Structure 1
Amino acid sequence: MKFLEESILPPPTDQRLKSFERACRVELPSEFHDLLKTYHGATPITNVFHGKGREFLIERLLCLLEDPASDETHGWYDIEVVLSQIDTRLTDDENLVGANVIPFASLFAGDFVCLDLRNQGKQSVVVWLHEESEDFNPVFLNVAGSLSEFFSMLSE
Protein backbone atom coordinates (compact mmCIF):
# COMPACT_ATOMS: atom_id res chain seq x y z
CA MET A 1 0.00 0.00 0.00
CA LYS A 2 1.42 3.34 -1.04
CA PHE A 3 0.42 6.84 -0.03
CA LEU A 4 1.45 10.32 -1.12
CA GLU A 5 4.04 11.14 1.54
CA GLU A 6 3.19 14.85 1.49
CA SER A 7 -0.46 14.08 2.27
CA ILE A 8 0.27 12.32 5.59
CA LEU A 9 -0.70 14.47 8.58
CA PRO A 10 1.07 14.47 11.95
CA PRO A 11 -0.30 11.47 13.88
CA PRO A 12 -2.92 11.87 16.60
CA THR A 13 -1.69 11.65 20.16
CA ASP A 14 -2.46 8.61 22.31
CA GLN A 15 -4.64 10.93 24.40
CA ARG A 16 -6.62 11.95 21.30
CA LEU A 17 -7.15 8.29 20.35
CA LYS A 18 -8.33 7.42 23.87
CA SER A 19 -10.67 10.42 23.90
CA PHE A 20 -12.20 9.26 20.62
CA GLU A 21 -12.64 5.71 21.93
CA ARG A 22 -14.35 7.04 25.07
CA ALA A 23 -16.67 9.23 23.01
CA CYS A 24 -17.59 6.31 20.74
CA ARG A 25 -17.66 3.79 23.61
CA VAL A 26 -15.50 1.42 21.64
CA GLU A 27 -12.05 -0.10 21.88
CA LEU A 28 -10.42 0.12 18.50
CA PRO A 29 -8.06 -2.65 17.41
CA SER A 30 -4.33 -1.89 17.50
CA GLU A 31 -4.33 -2.22 13.72
CA PHE A 32 -6.65 0.81 13.54
CA HIS A 33 -4.38 2.79 15.89
CA ASP A 34 -1.40 1.87 13.69
CA LEU A 35 -3.27 3.04 10.59
CA LEU A 36 -3.96 6.44 12.15
CA LYS A 37 -0.42 6.78 13.50
CA THR A 38 1.22 5.86 10.19
CA TYR A 39 -1.09 7.14 7.42
CA HIS A 40 -3.11 9.82 9.22
CA GLY A 41 -5.35 11.55 6.66
CA ALA A 42 -3.23 10.33 3.75
CA THR A 43 -4.16 10.09 0.10
CA PRO A 44 -3.46 6.62 -1.33
CA ILE A 45 -1.59 6.24 -4.59
CA THR A 46 -3.18 2.85 -5.22
CA ASN A 47 -6.74 3.90 -4.53
CA VAL A 48 -9.06 1.53 -6.40
CA PHE A 49 -10.55 -1.62 -4.94
CA HIS A 50 -13.40 -3.96 -5.86
CA GLY A 51 -16.17 -5.40 -3.75
CA LYS A 52 -19.33 -7.29 -4.67
CA GLY A 53 -18.85 -6.56 -8.36
CA ARG A 54 -18.39 -2.80 -7.84
CA GLU A 55 -15.36 -0.60 -8.22
CA PHE A 56 -14.58 1.97 -5.50
CA LEU A 57 -12.16 4.88 -5.47
CA ILE A 58 -10.64 6.09 -2.19
CA GLU A 59 -10.20 9.86 -2.01
CA ARG A 60 -8.32 9.88 1.30
CA LEU A 61 -8.07 8.31 4.71
CA LEU A 62 -9.87 10.10 7.50
CA CYS A 63 -8.03 11.68 10.43
CA LEU A 64 -8.47 12.57 14.12
CA LEU A 65 -7.57 16.22 14.55
CA GLU A 66 -7.24 18.09 17.84
CA ASP A 67 -9.40 20.95 16.52
CA PRO A 68 -11.14 20.09 13.23
CA ALA A 69 -12.93 23.46 13.07
CA SER A 70 -9.61 25.29 12.80
CA ASP A 71 -8.35 23.18 9.89
CA GLU A 72 -10.17 24.29 6.74
CA THR A 73 -8.34 21.80 4.53
CA HIS A 74 -8.67 18.61 6.60
CA GLY A 75 -11.46 19.37 9.09
CA TRP A 76 -14.14 17.80 6.89
CA TYR A 77 -12.13 14.57 6.88
CA ASP A 78 -12.02 14.26 10.67
CA ILE A 79 -13.61 10.98 11.81
CA GLU A 80 -15.68 12.68 14.53
CA VAL A 81 -16.92 15.33 12.09
CA VAL A 82 -17.96 12.62 9.63
CA LEU A 83 -19.64 10.60 12.40
CA SER A 84 -21.56 13.64 13.61
CA GLN A 85 -22.92 14.18 10.10
CA ILE A 86 -23.96 10.59 9.33
CA ASP A 87 -24.29 8.75 12.66
CA THR A 88 -28.01 7.98 12.41
CA ARG A 89 -27.39 6.56 8.96
CA LEU A 90 -24.66 4.16 10.18
CA THR A 91 -26.73 2.28 12.75
CA ASP A 92 -29.98 0.38 12.83
CA ASP A 93 -30.26 0.81 16.63
CA GLU A 94 -31.71 4.18 17.60
CA ASN A 95 -30.85 3.44 21.26
CA LEU A 96 -27.15 2.85 20.58
CA VAL A 97 -24.87 5.07 22.61
CA GLY A 98 -21.48 5.44 20.96
CA ALA A 99 -20.57 3.92 17.62
CA ASN A 100 -19.96 0.43 16.33
CA VAL A 101 -19.25 1.33 12.70
CA ILE A 102 -16.31 3.72 12.33
CA PRO A 103 -15.60 5.41 8.98
CA PHE A 104 -11.90 5.59 8.12
CA ALA A 105 -11.74 6.47 4.41
CA SER A 106 -13.81 8.68 2.14
CA LEU A 107 -14.77 7.35 -1.25
CA PHE A 108 -15.56 9.16 -4.45
CA ALA A 109 -19.26 10.12 -4.56
CA GLY A 110 -19.89 10.33 -0.80
CA ASP A 111 -19.59 6.76 0.45
CA PHE A 112 -17.19 5.70 3.23
CA VAL A 113 -15.06 2.68 4.04
CA CYS A 114 -15.78 1.71 7.65
CA LEU A 115 -14.46 -0.55 10.35
CA ASP A 116 -17.43 -2.66 11.42
CA LEU A 117 -17.37 -3.77 15.07
CA ARG A 118 -21.01 -4.86 15.37
CA ASN A 119 -20.17 -8.57 15.65
CA GLN A 120 -19.05 -8.69 19.33
CA GLY A 121 -15.98 -6.62 18.55
CA LYS A 122 -14.86 -8.90 15.68
CA GLN A 123 -13.78 -6.52 13.00
CA SER A 124 -14.62 -6.46 9.34
CA VAL A 125 -14.42 -3.75 6.69
CA VAL A 126 -17.55 -2.51 4.96
CA VAL A 127 -18.48 0.17 2.47
CA TRP A 128 -21.36 2.34 3.64
CA LEU A 129 -23.55 3.24 0.66
CA HIS A 130 -24.98 6.67 1.43
CA GLU A 131 -27.51 6.88 -1.39
CA GLU A 132 -29.10 3.57 -0.42
CA SER A 133 -29.11 4.25 3.34
CA GLU A 134 -31.66 6.06 5.45
CA ASP A 135 -31.76 7.01 9.11
CA PHE A 136 -31.50 3.83 11.19
CA ASN A 137 -31.48 1.75 8.00
CA PRO A 138 -27.88 1.60 6.76
CA VAL A 139 -26.79 -0.32 3.69
CA PHE A 140 -23.31 -1.86 3.85
CA LEU A 141 -21.25 -4.01 1.52
CA ASN A 142 -18.83 -6.30 3.30
CA VAL A 143 -15.50 -6.03 1.48
CA ALA A 144 -12.88 -7.54 3.85
CA GLY A 145 -12.52 -9.49 7.07
CA SER A 146 -9.91 -7.14 8.55
CA LEU A 147 -8.02 -3.92 7.94
CA SER A 148 -4.94 -5.79 6.76
CA GLU A 149 -7.03 -7.80 4.30
CA PHE A 150 -8.61 -4.58 3.05
CA PHE A 151 -5.28 -2.83 2.54
CA SER A 152 -3.88 -5.87 0.76
CA MET A 153 -6.66 -5.31 -1.80
CA LEU A 154 -5.04 -1.94 -2.60
CA SER A 155 -1.69 -3.56 -3.31
CA GLU A 156 -3.02 -5.68 -6.14
Structure 2
Amino acid sequence: MENKEAAVGNRGKALCALLAAGLLALAGCSSATGIPALDRDPAGADQWPGDRSHLENLGMQSVRFLVTHGNADYFATASADEQTACLFKFAQGEASAAGGCGGAGDADAIVEVSAPGTRMMLVRAGADFSDLEEAGWTRIHENILVF
Protein backbone atom coordinates (compact mmCIF):
# COMPACT_ATOMS: atom_id res chain seq x y z
CA MET A 1 0.00 0.00 0.00
CA GLU A 2 2.84 2.38 0.87
CA ASN A 3 4.48 1.78 -2.54
CA LYS A 4 1.20 2.60 -4.28
CA GLU A 5 0.82 5.85 -2.31
CA ALA A 6 4.45 6.74 -3.02
CA ALA A 7 3.94 6.14 -6.74
CA VAL A 8 0.83 8.35 -6.78
CA GLY A 9 2.69 11.01 -4.79
CA ASN A 10 5.63 10.91 -7.21
CA ARG A 11 3.30 11.22 -10.23
CA GLY A 12 1.61 14.19 -8.58
CA LYS A 13 4.98 15.83 -7.96
CA ALA A 14 6.02 15.18 -11.56
CA LEU A 15 2.77 16.68 -12.85
CA CYS A 16 3.26 19.77 -10.66
CA ALA A 17 6.82 20.14 -11.94
CA LEU A 18 5.63 19.91 -15.57
CA LEU A 19 2.90 22.50 -14.97
CA ALA A 20 5.36 24.85 -13.26
CA ALA A 21 7.84 24.47 -16.14
CA GLY A 22 5.08 25.23 -18.63
CA LEU A 23 4.07 28.37 -16.75
CA LEU A 24 7.69 29.52 -16.58
CA ALA A 25 8.08 28.95 -20.32
CA LEU A 26 4.97 31.01 -21.01
CA ALA A 27 6.14 33.79 -18.70
CA GLY A 28 9.51 33.83 -20.44
CA CYS A 29 7.83 34.32 -23.80
CA SER A 30 5.47 37.08 -22.81
CA SER A 31 6.47 40.70 -22.89
CA ALA A 32 5.62 43.03 -20.01
CA THR A 33 4.82 45.68 -22.60
CA GLY A 34 2.86 43.40 -24.90
CA ILE A 35 5.33 44.19 -27.71
CA PRO A 36 7.33 41.03 -28.49
CA ALA A 37 9.90 42.93 -30.60
CA LEU A 38 11.10 44.69 -27.45
CA ASP A 39 12.11 41.30 -26.00
CA ARG A 40 14.43 40.30 -28.84
CA ASP A 41 18.05 41.31 -29.29
CA PRO A 42 18.60 44.38 -31.48
CA ALA A 43 19.24 43.84 -35.18
CA GLY A 44 20.65 46.05 -37.94
CA ALA A 45 17.24 47.53 -38.80
CA ASP A 46 16.82 48.72 -35.20
CA GLN A 47 18.90 51.86 -35.76
CA TRP A 48 17.13 55.02 -34.54
CA PRO A 49 16.71 57.24 -37.62
CA GLY A 50 15.86 60.45 -35.78
CA ASP A 51 17.10 62.95 -33.30
CA ARG A 52 18.15 61.32 -30.03
CA SER A 53 16.20 63.97 -28.11
CA HIS A 54 13.01 62.05 -29.01
CA LEU A 55 14.30 59.35 -26.68
CA GLU A 56 14.54 61.60 -23.62
CA ASN A 57 13.75 59.00 -20.93
CA LEU A 58 14.00 55.98 -23.17
CA GLY A 59 17.06 53.91 -23.90
CA MET A 60 18.61 53.63 -27.34
CA GLN A 61 19.02 49.93 -26.58
CA SER A 62 15.24 49.44 -26.58
CA VAL A 63 14.63 50.83 -30.09
CA ARG A 64 13.08 48.21 -32.37
CA PHE A 65 12.02 48.56 -35.99
CA LEU A 66 8.55 47.08 -36.39
CA VAL A 67 7.39 47.55 -39.98
CA THR A 68 7.49 49.64 -43.15
CA HIS A 69 4.07 50.66 -44.38
CA GLY A 70 3.50 53.03 -47.28
CA ASN A 71 6.44 55.41 -47.26
CA ALA A 72 7.07 55.25 -43.52
CA ASP A 73 9.02 53.18 -41.02
CA TYR A 74 7.52 52.43 -37.61
CA PHE A 75 9.60 51.97 -34.47
CA ALA A 76 8.77 51.03 -30.88
CA THR A 77 10.77 51.73 -27.76
CA ALA A 78 10.20 51.44 -24.02
CA SER A 79 11.40 52.81 -20.73
CA ALA A 80 13.90 50.71 -18.78
CA ASP A 81 11.19 49.60 -16.34
CA GLU A 82 8.85 48.75 -19.28
CA GLN A 83 6.10 50.88 -17.72
CA THR A 84 6.04 53.15 -20.79
CA ALA A 85 6.06 52.15 -24.46
CA CYS A 86 6.25 54.44 -27.47
CA LEU A 87 5.45 54.35 -31.16
CA PHE A 88 7.25 56.54 -33.71
CA LYS A 89 6.62 56.91 -37.43
CA PHE A 90 9.37 58.23 -39.68
CA ALA A 91 8.69 59.15 -43.29
CA GLN A 92 11.41 57.37 -45.24
CA GLY A 93 14.49 59.53 -45.67
CA GLU A 94 13.46 62.01 -42.96
CA ALA A 95 14.76 62.48 -39.42
CA SER A 96 11.57 64.02 -38.02
CA ALA A 97 8.93 61.76 -36.56
CA ALA A 98 5.36 61.61 -35.36
CA GLY A 99 5.07 59.65 -32.18
CA GLY A 100 3.84 59.26 -28.68
CA CYS A 101 4.15 57.22 -25.53
CA GLY A 102 1.69 55.63 -23.15
CA GLY A 103 1.46 53.37 -20.15
CA ALA A 104 2.30 49.80 -21.03
CA GLY A 105 0.25 48.25 -18.25
CA ASP A 106 -2.53 45.81 -18.97
CA ALA A 107 -4.51 48.04 -21.35
CA ASP A 108 -4.82 46.65 -24.88
CA ALA A 109 -4.32 50.10 -26.45
CA ILE A 110 -1.03 51.61 -25.26
CA VAL A 111 -1.09 54.93 -27.10
CA GLU A 112 -2.98 56.59 -29.95
CA VAL A 113 -1.14 59.25 -31.93
CA SER A 114 -2.84 61.84 -34.13
CA ALA A 115 -0.73 64.26 -36.13
CA PRO A 116 -1.13 65.89 -39.56
CA GLY A 117 -1.38 63.01 -42.03
CA THR A 118 -1.02 60.40 -39.28
CA ARG A 119 -3.35 58.49 -37.04
CA MET A 120 -1.85 55.38 -35.47
CA MET A 121 -2.14 53.25 -32.39
CA LEU A 122 0.35 51.09 -30.50
CA VAL A 123 -1.45 48.02 -29.15
CA ARG A 124 -0.59 44.90 -27.19
CA ALA A 125 0.04 41.79 -29.29
CA GLY A 126 -2.94 39.45 -29.37
CA ALA A 127 -5.45 42.12 -28.39
CA ASP A 128 -8.76 42.00 -30.23
CA PHE A 129 -9.40 45.21 -32.15
CA SER A 130 -11.90 43.82 -34.64
CA ASP A 131 -14.34 46.60 -33.70
CA LEU A 132 -11.77 49.25 -34.68
CA GLU A 133 -10.90 47.36 -37.85
CA GLU A 134 -14.59 47.34 -38.75
CA ALA A 135 -14.59 51.11 -38.15
CA GLY A 136 -11.81 51.63 -40.70
CA TRP A 137 -8.57 51.04 -38.80
CA THR A 138 -6.02 48.75 -40.49
CA ARG A 139 -3.63 46.42 -38.66
CA ILE A 140 -0.21 46.81 -40.31
CA HIS A 141 1.72 44.93 -37.61
CA GLU A 142 0.73 42.83 -34.62
CA ASN A 143 1.30 45.97 -32.50
CA ILE A 144 0.16 48.76 -34.86
CA LEU A 145 -3.16 49.97 -36.18
CA VAL A 146 -3.41 52.91 -38.59
CA PHE A 147 -6.38 54.91 -39.80
Normalised by the length of structure 2, the TM-score is 0.35
User: Normalized per residue, which structure has more strand?
Assistant: 2
The higher-RCO structure (CA 8 Å, 6+ apart) is: 1
Larger C-alpha radius of gyration, 1 or 2? Answer: 2
